[in-house]
Chains A and B, each alone.
Chain A
């Protein structure tokens, strides 16, 4: 029991010591998570809407793939991106492996399907109605699309929040392609995994607490925005 209590005490000490290393880790975590969620949104929302309102060949097959990708294990996505970016891989010359960019790429693979899948589901359920109402009131294609976005904004937001949740909590993919290099690609989840394996529980708890508080704050902000829009 002792080591847990001690861990918490040390955790607080660590947080208020303004240790540079810890803040660098927090900032990198935010950078990677926000960038990957942002890019995944740009990819996922339009595609989700598109497959939600359009009919085309192989749509069912595509959706089955989409659902699979929504729950793809992070290590598999990580491994895939690793192999592509590795020195001997097809994009090896870019020398992206073990950089934050590689971590963002890997997370986009995880997050984009989630945002796309949730957006698709909502568009499929409500899109037809919304489009028809827009057309019967005289809207052109662009205006109908605008109304669709307006009506689905809460759902799209929920999709982004889910995607963000996956990005900030994920460890497998960023570990593989980032390598948990101190001061360079070390983020909160990979630190916790490493500290735990080293038996340094107080540090692990400290970072774990920060991670919790951070997602609480960000989710509160997102939730607030969602209620306003």
Chain B
């Protein structure tokens, strides 16, 4: 999916939290969004995903205004994921069920996710008893199982250990490769940005300050400046 934003403004009372003149995410690209806390990253994701409709400006997806059909082909993984009060399997099955996918097909797709994100151990566990990191992994599986054309990720690996992070990153890359899914990823991790994304958007105070290939954005931003907002590259 191709997303274009035009003069998007979002206000809470008198406070403008988002003000974007022009921004585009091209089909099949993986873009990282970086910026300090409160710079409007989550707000932007919610607007693109269609759950926040209280803004002014123009949002176009593949040349259309957002509608139910488009919504069915995209998804957002929240910063704090909400899992349905059932087991892991049925959480992942939910988006397939509401699309009327057959049992056979459903099983095949979920098996694929179990393998991709190593969920075998917890697949029958109740979602409410999962650890924070496991929840994020399940939320990602639930988001990509129906092969969306647009995948919005709001800090999907914020509580994740390095090994699982690698797992989740390859799952993100996999869905991008196999379905030409457009990916937009909010992150505070500069190495993740380098590993996963080809392009980067730097936001500050609700505005897009930089937007280019990852290396160009990082080159242009002052080292110290980046260091304030992103996890520094500490030698481990």
Q: Specify whether A and B are partners.
A: yes
Chain A positions within 8 Å of B, measured between CB atoms, are 129-130, 132-133, 135-140, 143, 147, 150-151
B residues in contact with A147, CB < 8 Å: 84, 94
Contact A132 B98 (CB under 8 A): no
- Using A150-B84, A151-B84 as known contacts, say yes or no to A140 and B68 having CB atoms under 8 A apart: yes
Bound together, the chains give a CA A135 to CA B82 distance in angstroms of 12
**Chain A: CB-nearest residue to B68:** A140
A residues in contact with B119, CB < 8 Å: none
Contact B98 A138 (CB under 8 A): yes
Contact A138 B84 (CB under 8 A): no
- Using A129-B82, A130-B82 as known contacts, say yes or no to A138 and B99 having CB atoms under 8 A apart: yes
Q: Which of B69-77, B183-191, B214-222 contacts A (4 or more CB under 8 A)?
A: B69-77
Task: Give the interface SS of chain A, mostly helix, strand, loop or mixed.
Answer: helix
Bound together, the chains give a CA A195 to CA B72 distance in angstroms of 65
Contact A135 B84 (CB under 8 A): no
Q: Which of B48-76 contact A (CB under 8 A)?
A: 49-51, 68, 71-73, 75-76
B residues in contact with A135, CB < 8 Å: 49-51, 71
Chain B positions within 8 Å of A, measured between CB atoms, are 49-51, 68, 71-73, 75-76, 78, 82, 84-85, 94-95, 98-99, 142-143, 146
Bound together, the chains give a CA A140 to CA B75 distance in angstroms of 13
Of A132, A137, A143, A151, chain B has the most CB atoms within 10 Å of the CB of A137
A residues in contact with B99, CB < 8 Å: 138
Q: Distance (Å) between the CB of B88 and the closest chain A CB?
A: 15
Bound together, the chains give a CA A129 to CA B51 distance in angstroms of 11
Contact A137 B51 (CB under 8 A): no
Q: Distance (Å) between the CB of A148 and the closest chain B CB?
A: 11
Contact A137 B94 (CB under 8 A): yes
**Chain A: CB-nearest residue to B139:** A133
B residues in contact with A130, CB < 8 Å: 82
Bound together, the chains give a CA A12 to CA B142 distance in angstroms of 59
Contact B68 A137 (CB under 8 A): no
Contact B75 A138 (CB under 8 A): yes
Q: Distance (Å) between the CB of A85 and the closest chain B CB?
A: 43
Bound together, the chains give a CA A224 to CA B142 distance in angstroms of 31
A residues in contact with B68, CB < 8 Å: 140
Contact B51 A136 (CB under 8 A): yes
- Chain A to chain B contacts (Cβ below 8 Å), 21 pairs: A129-B82, A130-B82, A132-B51, A133-B78, A136-B51, A136-B76, A136-B143, A137-B94, A137-B142, A138-B71, A138-B73, A138-B75, A138-B95, A138-B98, A138-B99, A138-B146, A140-B68, A147-B84, A150-B84, A151-B84, A151-B85
Bound together, the chains give a CA A33 to CA B216 distance in angstroms of 72
Of A129, A139, A150, A151, which contacts B98 at CB under 8 A? A139
B residues in contact with A150, CB < 8 Å: 84-85
Q: Distance (Å) between the CB of B218 and the closest chain A CB?
A: 30
Q: Distance (Å) between the CB of A66 and the closest chain B CB?
A: 26
B residues in contact with A138, CB < 8 Å: 71-73, 75, 95, 98-99, 146
Q: Distance (Å) between the CB of A133 and the closest chain B CB?
A: 5
Contact A136 B49 (CB under 8 A): yes
Bound together, the chains give a CA A138 to CA B72 distance in angstroms of 4
A residues in contact with B95, CB < 8 Å: 137-138
**Chain A: CB-nearest residue to B85:** A151
Bound together, the chains give a CA A129 to CA B142 distance in angstroms of 16
A residues in contact with B76, CB < 8 Å: 136
Q: Distance (Å) between the CB of B201 and the closest chain A CB?
A: 21
B residues in contact with A143, CB < 8 Å: 98
